[in-house]
Structure 1
Amino acid sequence: MTLAAQPEQTQPEQTQPEARTGPKPVLAGTRGLPQQVGVYVFVFTPLVALLAAIPLAVTVGFLGWSDVVIGLVFYVVSGLGITVGYHRYFTHGSFKATRGLKIALAIAGSLAMQGPVIKWVADHRRHHAFSDKEGDPHSPWLFGTSARALAKGFWHSHTGWLFDRNLTNEERFTPDLLADDDLRRIDSLFGLWSVLTLLVPAALGGLVTWSWWGALTALFWAGLVRVALLHHVTWSINSICHMWGERPYAARDRSANVWWLAVFSFGESWHNLHHADPTCARHGVRKGQIDLSAITIRAFEKLGWATAVRWPTTKRLDRLAKDPAAA
């Protein structure tokens, strides 16, 4: 009797840890009013600058060579911060990075003004977990397939989802990032990085031209307009690359390759392969598919800053291809 009773007494203790460590909910509350107002400011302020850019350039001559150069440098730095850092490294673990590279990528991505690193990664991991299904934060296919539904879906996937007050549960989707003190600190300083991504170009423009006018034009072009352009290129991966394009690889969703976005998105628009093989460090895997993010990762690897890079293999690509002969 004593031996028979022991399993019954210990059974509750064995099941309790499973209950405590069960799946956490997808959402974790809603944004407060100040945070919601902040989203509108971050989205629409650069957009207004972008809409005003061409009239100002044509009528006032409100554009100098220094604005173009500074804007291009910051576009590349902040864009690769998103694609190489936020996306391929922090979200999908396509490679391992030294501590210095990890910190640099987190700060560079923050300069894109697309959100703190942990929140961005949580949203994107949730996107992959429910891609083009209920639970996906920015699928264009959640409202139906009629023309009206797709128009609504395009707006939602491109920009509208940003105004959803529901917050992705970071404890569920990013426990690894939350356990990293460096990333938690960088994440908490997102406001500072957002100010610097506008003021540093302005300061450089002022120093190069030695004028307040040069500082103002650099703030406008290399700051606000550059941020807006990168915003909409990134958001086009959510919208355009889930609606139109080629689908040579077998993915569980509507992800597609869009060639004309490849250079501007640093290779992110080879989106079909990415969803077929999310941890792959190279998205443009076929001949002629330019992938500047993969080239950057290769450079980091040669410098010894990136290791254990998940490069594609012919065997895996053949298995994922709908037509292996064309892979």
Structure 2
Amino acid sequence: MTTSPELIEGASAASDSDSGSAAPSATLGGESKRSVEQIALLLFITVPFLALLAAIPLVWGWGVSWLDLGLMVFMYFLTCHGITIGFHRYFTHGSFKAKRPLRIALAVMGSMAVEGPLVRWVADHRKHHKFSDHDGDPHSPWRFGETVPALMKGLWWAHIGWLFDEEQTNQQKYAPDLIKDPAIRRISRDFVLWTIVSLAIPPLVGGLVTMSWWGAFTAFFWGSLVRVALLHHVTWSINSICHAVGKRPFKSRDRSGNVWWLAVLSCGESWHNLHHADPTSARHGVLRGQVDSSARLIRWFELAGWATDVRWPSKGRVDARRRENASNAA
């Protein structure tokens, strides 16, 4: 098994197995979104979001069972780490090398987050780093200007609006290493299958444990719909909120900031300023008290021998990226 990371404007792409070749059409989603894709996207955004809104009066009126809550939390952090460790730190930036079983598991876990096919997700994010908060960035909140009305419009664009843009990132240009891997290409192409699996696990478990259709329904409501909606908006908040506000103790060429109150739910991704200052770092929360569960799991993978060549930030590397005044904030 070999690895040949490719640098794309500071974001390195890990490829532990580069064999075979394929055109972008071999992955799900090409250079433009068809109308049917946009309709499906709208459904996958609005239906879970409506469930999230309905969750408030349901908790107030009937409560939520420990089984439903457990399924929601388990599925949330399983798929959240699939995105943060798998799609982001590993596949996009090559923060570590992974043994083949871990590589496949991370690809599947990330796909179950229902945030789009793996190859497309990685291509979009690599392009984001190349043009971060400048022309060409797929989802910068500063896209329309710096006035308050322009920023409000930009925040909406960065959070959700960009997902409906018909023009898509060139996958062959930004993720050729992933396209060359037949297994990863297959997982990316089977995104719909992983979505079904992700949505089906909670009601299957809930129904079997309670031996009732009602138990299956409530597990689907909390463990599937509410969980997906919450994870979606936390992930999108990294694009919008973390590029508009937050402390910026490290030097970066964009407006990425650290937003502490998103740290736990984002599995460490909201320590976004350090990430943009040092994109290949396996740890984003490098300062005292900065919780980063993704980095902790990567460390466990390393200790188990599943991950190697982990790019841990050294003190010298961190100090070199500090601003002269570490108290700078947005």
Say yes or no: TM over 0.5: yes
What are the Cα deviations for residues 126-173 of structure 1, in whole angstroms up to 9, with x where unaligned?
100000011101000010111100100110011111111111100000
Q: Is 1:51–2:53 an aligned residue pair?
A: yes
TM-fit CA distance, 1:325 = 8.1
Corresponding residue number in structure 2 for 1:9: none
Cross-structure match for 1:18: none
- CA RMSD of the aligned region, Å? 1.4
CA distance in 2, matches of 1:29, 1:173: 12
37-46 or 218-227, which moves further after superposition?
37-46
* 1:227 correspondence with 2:211: no
Q: Distance in 1 between matches of 2:325 and 2:179?
A: 40
Aligned to 1:191: 192
- Normalising to structure 1: TM-score of the pair? 0.89
- Counterpart position of 1:120: 121
Q: Which residue of 2 aligns with 1:39?
A: 41
Superposition map of 1:165-204 within 5 A: 165-204=166-205
Shift of residue 63 of structure 1?
A: 2.3
Contact 2:249 2:326 in 1 (8 A): no
Q: How far apart, in 1, do the equivalents of 2:121 and 2:31 lie?
A: 16
Instruction: Give the whole-Å Cα distance in 2 for the aligned partners of 1:286 and 1:226.
Output: 29
Residues 40-89 of structure 1: CA distance to partner in whole angstroms, max 9, x if unpaired? Answer: 11111111111111112223x16211000011110111000000000000
1:237-248 correspondence to structure 2 within 5 Å: 237-248=238-249
Amino acid at match of 2:34: G
Q: Which amino acid aligns with 2:50?
A: V
Q: Give me the whole-angstrom Cα distance separating, in 1, the residues matched to 2:324 and 2:269.
A: 22
| Contact preservation (8 Å) 1:318, 1:324 | no
Classify the secondary structure of the residue corresponding to 2:269.
coil
Mapped contact 1:259–1:269 kept (Cα < 8 A): yes
Residue equivalent to 1:218? 219
CA distance in 2, matches of 1:207, 1:267: 34
CA contact (8 A) 2:248 2:326 kept: no
- 1:224 deviates by 0.4
Match of 2:132 in 1: 131
Task: Give unmatched runs, 5+ long, in structure 1.
Answer: 1-27
Structure 2 length as normaliser, TM-score? 0.88
% identical aligned pairs? 57
Task: Tell me, in whole angstroms, the C-alpha distance in 1 between the residues paired with 2:301 and 2:216.
Answer: 33
**Consecutive unaligned residues in structure 2, runs of 5 or more:** 1-29
**Whole-Å Cα distance in 2 between the matches of residues 203 and 319 of structure 1?**
50
Runs of 4+ in structure 1 off by over 4 angstroms are none
Q: Deviations over 1:253-310 (max 9, x none)?
A: 0000001110110100000000000000000001111100000000000000000000
Q: Distance in 1 between matches of 2:247 and 2:126?
A: 23
Query: Are the structure 2 counterparts of residues 185 and 142 from structure 1 closer, same or farther at C-alpha, using a change threshold of 3 Å?
Result: same
**Amino acid corresponding to residue 272 of structure 1 in structure 2:** N
2:246 is aligned with what amino acid?
Answer: G
- Residues 225-279 of structure 1 show CA distances to partners (whole Å, capped at 9, x for unaligned) of 0000000000010011000110000000000000111011010000000000000
Equivalent position amino acid for 2:55 in 1: A
CA separation of 1:304 and 1:147: change in aligned 2, threshold 3 A: same
Residues 1:153 and 2:149 are matched in the alignment: no
- Is this contact kept in 1: 2:249–2:325, CA < 8 A? no
- Offset at 1:101? 0.2
Matches within 5 A, 1:306-325: 306-323=307-324
Q: Which has the larger radius of gyration?
A: 1
